[in-house]
Structure 1
Amino acid sequence: MCGRFTLAYPRADLIKRYRAVTMSDIEPRYNIVPSTDIVVIRDSGTGREILMMHWGLIPHWAKDIKMLPLLLNARAESLVIKPSFKHAFRRQRCLIPASGFYEWKQMADGRSKQPFYISAKDGNPLSFAGLWESATVDEVVINSCTIITTKSNELIHPIHDRMPVILPPEAWDTWLTPSPLPDDILMAILMKPLASEHMHLWPVSPAVGRINNQGDQLILPVNE
Structure 2
Amino acid sequence: MCGRYASTIPPEAMVELFKLIKSINLLPRFNIAPTQPIVAIWESAGRREGHFARWGLVPGWVKDPRDFPLLVNARAESMAEKPAFRDPLKHGRCLVPASGYYEWHTGPDKKKRPYYITRADGQPMALAGLYATWSGPEGEEIDSVATITVPANAQLSAIHHRMPAILLDERSQDDWLNVREVRAAEAAAMARPLEDGVLRFHPVSTRVNSARDDDPGLIEEVAEEKPEPPKKKVAGGQMDLF
State the secondary structure of the residue aligned to 2:22.
strand
- Give the structure 1 partner of residue 115 of structure 2: 116
Please say which of residues 175-184 and 65-74 is displaced more in the overlay.
175-184
Question: Match of 2:125, as an amino acid?
Answer: L
Which residue identity is paired with 1:103?
E
Q: Deviations over 1:170-208 (max 9, x none)?
A: 201111013164443122201x21122111000000000
2:230 maps to none
Structure 1: runs of 5 or more not aligned: none
Q: Which residue in the other structure is 1:17 paired with? A: 17
Following the alignment from structure 1 to structure 2, what is the Cα–Cα distance between the partners of residues 212 and 149?
25
The answer on whether the counterparts of 2:176 and 2:182 sit within 8 Å (CA) in structure 1 is: no
Q: TM-score, normalised by structure 1?
A: 0.95
Between the two proteins, the alignment pairs up a number of residues equal to: 222
SS in 1 for 2:114: strand
| 1:16-165 pair list within 5 angstroms | 16-110=16-110, 112-139=111-138, 140-165=140-165
Q: CA deviation at 1:67?
A: 1.9
Moved beyond 6 Å, runs of 4+: none
Say whether residues 1:179 and 2:180 are aligned partners.
Answer: yes
Q: What is the alpha-carbon distance in structure 1 between the residues aligned to residue 100 and residue 89 of structure 2? A: 24
Give the residue type in structure 1 aligned to 2:151. K
Q: Aligned with 1:20: secondary structure?
A: coil
RMSD: 1.2
Distance in structure 1 (CA, Å) of the matches to 2:134 and 2:181: 20
Q: TM-score, normalised by structure 2?
A: 0.89
Deviation at 1:42, TM superposition (A): 0.6
Of all paired residues, the percent bearing the same amino acid is: 37
- The unaligned stretches of length 5 or more in structure 2 are 225-242
Matched, 1:212 2:212: yes
The residue type equivalent to 1:28 in the other structure is P
CA contact (8 A) 1:23 1:51 kept: no
CA distance in 2, matches of 1:204, 1:123: 17
